[in-house]
Amino acid sequence: MTDDRTATVPQGIDARSLEALLTRERAAWIEGRPKSVALHERALASQVNGTPQHWIRQFPPPVPLTVERATGARLHDVDGHDYADFGLAGTAALWGHDHPAIVAALRDQLGRGSVILWPNEDHVWVTEELRDRFGLPCWQFAVSATDANRFALLLARVTTGRDRILMFNRAYHGAVEQTYAVLTEEGVTPLPGVDAGGVDVRRTTKIVEFNDLEALERELAPGDVAAVIAEPVMTNGGAVVHPDPGFHAGLREITRRTGTLLLIDETQTIPAGPGGCVRELGLEPDLITMGKWVAGGVPAGLYGMSEEVAAAAARYTQHGDGGLGSTLASGPLAVRGIRAVLEEVMTERTYAHMTRLADRYARGIEEVIATHRLPWHVGRLGGRVMYAFTPEPPRNAGQPYPRSAALREALWLYLANRGIALDGMSGAALFSPLTEESDVDRHNELFAKVIAELVE
Ligand SMILES: Cc1ncc(COP(=O)(O)O)c(C=O)c1O
């Protein structure tokens, strides 16, 4: 596989202007944030990379955006700057930072107990609602999407008696060792620089490109794969990668025919609609996982399963020891949050607002792309928008296309220095029920200005 992840300047952009803008915006960021700089210096003495999670250092600003508080769909930093937050913690804050229905529910629950281990009425309400909304009969609670994926994959192995999993190239499903792999000319290879904790991914994992049904057929034919794990629309490959017409039907047909379970990871694709892609695309998986946004800010993950998998899960604990879960999973605080999200926030009305603003934002970018005839495109999935530096949307995430770290950093910094914060990892924008139209318009104005400064 050739790969131009190292290419820094996409077509249409002037390299010298980009360098000058980066230098200027980095300096402006630091100069305007003395308290953030001081806190980062302190943090360097007690945190890896000076950030609470070491990978956060990969985000664009030279010192982290150091938040004093978050309200609505806005961040307020310790140096007195406000930002319209279009990153929304990568969907974990998709409903905004203080949605009144979620805040009221969580405040009330804090006075009634946060972690109890015994079930309550909310657990039943939530699992019934998940069953009706997403179509799978049985649901369990976890602490994160990572956990949900680990548990779901393990149950797939227990259900089928098979060892391997299959994933799509360059998908991300959390800190799940079997997925720390990438497809290269040598076949499945450990992800560079990532330790898979003793798991030999060459033995545990098969990988094919998204939208490649022929390769899928070939890899599933031997009947040794427990489950295919898939984002229904890929969001983690630097662009929004949609399924070809017929891809999901083919994926389901081949998995059924070969006795392979299908796990749909809905963690990042929920901006597609209130029933996620499972409902939007009419999917019929055996397992569904989700996390991040599910409890409105309280850590939680969920995994749903078919009767067949549920029977295997029941067998898993029949000898008394072990079991999949965490003491903190299904705590009443998290479950109350999930109920508030499902009952009061994830409605058609909420999604109409999110999608309307996402349309407006996408139109703004498309106009700028057209004005300057840039060979770029805008990727959309309901309330998620991201642009990529290629004229056509890619069909898979292994396909070479310019990621351009330098341009992404420059755009992020230019916008953030002027009060707009995009997702730190990908530059994507998400739209919450609390996102304001004026912030979308401000973004579009600034985007037009920065591109005018950068084009050849
Ligand atoms: C599709 C997908 N699944 C699962 C996860 C894991 O989520 P978490 O890190 O919250 O456990 C992620 C995280 O980015 C993700 O993008």
The pLDDT value recorded for residue 323 is 81
| Residue 394 alpha carbon to ligand 1 centre in Å | 22
Sheet holding 377-381, edge to edge: 377-381, 384-388, 429-430
pLDDT higher than 50, residue 141: yes
Q: Is the CB of 146 under 6 A from ligand 1?
A: yes
The pLDDT value recorded for residue 401 is 73
- Give the position, in ligand 1's atom list, of the atom nearest the Cα of 171: 1
Mean pLDDT (the chain) is 95
What is the CATH code of the structural domain delimited by 15-98+348-454? Answer: 3.90.1150.10
**Alpha-carbon gap, residue 313 to 25, rounded angstroms:** 53
Q: Where in the chain is the domain with CATH 3.90.1150.10?
A: 15-98+348-454
- What's the pLDDT tens digit per position in 336-393? 999 999 999 999 999 999 999 999 999 999 999 999 999 999 999 999 999 989 899 9
| Residue 184 alpha carbon to ligand 1 centre in Å | 23
For atom 13 of ligand 1, which residue has the closest CA?
174
**Alpha-carbon gap, residue 360 to 195, rounded angstroms:** 42
The pLDDT value recorded for residue 300 is 98
Q: Is the CB of 295 under 6 A from ligand 1?
A: no
pLDDT band at residue 6 using 50, 70 and 90 as cut-offs: very low
| Residue 286 alpha carbon to ligand 1 centre in Å | 19
pLDDT band at residue 193 using 50, 70 and 90 as cut-offs: confident
**Alpha-carbon gap, residue 108 to 393, rounded angstroms:** 46
75, 287 Cβ separation under 8 angstroms = no
**Alpha-carbon gap, residue 307 to 286, rounded angstroms:** 9
The pLDDT value recorded for residue 10 is 85
For atom 5 of ligand 1, which residue has the closest CA?
174
Q: Is the CB of 236 under 6 A from ligand 1?
A: yes
Residue whose structure tokens are 């985007």: 447
- What's the pLDDT tens digit per position in 100-112? 999 999 999 999 9
- What's the pLDDT tens digit per position in 48-96? 999 999 999 999 999 999 999 999 999 999 999 999 999 999 999 999 9
Other Cβ atoms within 10 Å of 274 Cβ, number: 17
- What's the pLDDT tens digit per position in 252-281? 999 999 999 999 999 999 999 999 999 999
pLDDT higher than 80, residue 284: yes
pLDDT higher than 70, residue 176: yes
Instruction: For residue 222, give the nearest of 171, 166, 178, 151 by alpha carbon.
Output: 166
Q: What CATH fold (topology level) applies to the domain 101-345?
A: Aspartate Aminotransferase; domain 2 (3.40.640)
pLDDT higher than 60, residue 421: yes
pLDDT band at residue 404 using 50, 70 and 90 as cut-offs: confident
Q: Is the CB of 173 under 6 A from ligand 1?
A: yes
pLDDT higher than 90, residue 7: no
Q: Is the CB of 399 under 6 A from ligand 1?
A: no
Q: Where in the chain is the domain with CATH 3.40.640.10?
A: 101-345
Q: Is the CB of 231 under 6 A from ligand 1?
A: yes
pLDDT higher than 50, residue 217: yes
Question: In terms of pLDDT, which residue wins out, 319 or 310?
Answer: 310
Q: Is the CB of 205 under 6 A from ligand 1?
A: no
pLDDT higher than 80, residue 313: yes
The pLDDT value recorded for residue 2 is 34
Cα dihedral 177, 144, 313, 229 sign: negative
- Give the position, in ligand 1's atom list, of the atom nearest the Cα of 174: 6
